[in-house]
Amino acid sequence: MKLFPIPTGNLKLDGGAMFGVVPKVIWGKSYPGDENNLCNWSMRCLLIVDGDRKILIDCGIGDKQSEKFFSNYYLNGDDTLEKSLASHGFTMDDITDVILTHLHFDHAGGAVRWNAGRTDYDVAFKNATYHTSRQQWEWATSPNNREKASFLKENILPIREKGRLELFEGDTELFPNVKVRIFNGHTDGQVIPFIRYKDKTVVFMADLLPSAAHIPLPWVMSYDTRPLITLKEKESFMAEAAENGYVLFLEHDLYRECCTVEATEKGIRLKESFPLEEV
């Protein structure tokens, strides 16, 4: 098995939304914001290559929305999904499976693209099966008013219409050495993959832990639909991660690709950060 980080570009989001009740005078010391309180965030996906199987976890924001839509998020950076796959010798058609941690546009937008004539949508990975939790699918296809703007039908429904969707329920082993667990604080049925790799466990953190700056328990995003559940989930998971030495792969942290955590007198804190290639 080999793991490859797949950067797909960056977007800017309001620091207050990303850090919730934590004041800027505090979060600004851990993660930089600009004069408009906007912070720059990566959309870093992960490719698992295991024999003939090539599994992509999340797929970025895509490119099919309107210029007006994208202007709200100040997209930046030179990376794209195709370029990053190509840098490791792969194409979109090589992908056999896509795990969508959840169906917010910055995680699932790249799953679907325009057809050649821009008359209809098609799956972006024509040879892949798409996997997500039944809980998240049902939540996203009948969205609440708070999250509705993050679940775009054109990112979601074509996957089912093209017959490429596989849903699972609860914690399970999707593939050898790739297990998934369900977390519900950020959005219902968020999928967190646990990958056994080089005698370590690499955890793709998605929006359970957007960045290393979010390690302290109260640092919970305003985007989370159930912040008190996130708090409980983080408390349990972070203790487990510290005890077992998990490698945390960070999807949104622009400055740190992976990290480990440790227990201290002040609670769980960052131990060290490093690129995935050092694992």
- pLDDT score recorded for residue 209: 98
- For 234-272, b where at least 16 C-beta lie within 10 A, e where not — what string? beebbeebbeeebbbbbbbbbebbbbbbeeeeeebebbe
| pLDDT score, position 269 | 98
pLDDT class of 229 with cuts at 50, 70, 90: very high
Whether residue 100 contacts residue 45, with contact meaning beta carbons closer than 8 Å, is answered with no
Q: Please state, for a pLDDT cut of 70, what percent of the chain lies above it.
A: 100
Residue 165: predicted pLDDT: 98
For residue 251, give the DSSP letter.
Answer: S
Q: What's the pLDDT at 147?
A: 94
| Amino acid 163: pLDDT | 97
Total domains present in the chain? 1
| Nearby residues of 215 by Cβ (< 8 Å), 6 or more positions away | 209, 238, 259, 261, 268, 269, 270
pLDDT of residue 65: 95
**Six token digits for residue 145:** 């008013």
- Tokens describing residue 278: 């050092």
Distances (CA, A) of 173 to 2, 241, 267: 18, 19, 31
Q: What is the pLDDT of residues 232-254, one digit of tens each?
A: 999 999 999 999 999 999 999 99
Q: What is the pLDDT of residue 35?
A: 95
pLDDT tier, 274 (very low <50, low <70, confident <90, very high otherwise): very high
Q: Which sign does the torsion angle of CA 102, 172, 184, 23 carry? A: negative
d(CA 265, CA 268): 8
Output the CA torsion 210→214→215→219 (10° steps): -130
What is the predicted pLDDT for the residue at 152?
A: 97
Q: What single-letter DSSP state applies at residue 252?
A: S
Helix, strand or coil for residue 263?
strand
Name the band, by pLDDT with cuts 50, 70 and 90, for residue 200: very high
> Which of 194, 189, 219 is CA-nearest to residue 205?
194
Task: Look up the pTM and report it.
Answer: 0.98
pLDDT of residue 39: 98
**Can you read off the two tokens belonging to residue 60?**
């970025």
Q: How confident is the model at residue 19 (pLDDT cuts 50, 70, 90)?
A: very high
- What is the spatial distance between Cα 86 and Cα 89, in angstroms, rounded to a whole number? 5
Domain CATH number, residue 43: 3.60.15.10
Domain that holds residue 44: 2-278
What does the pLDDT read at residue 47?
99
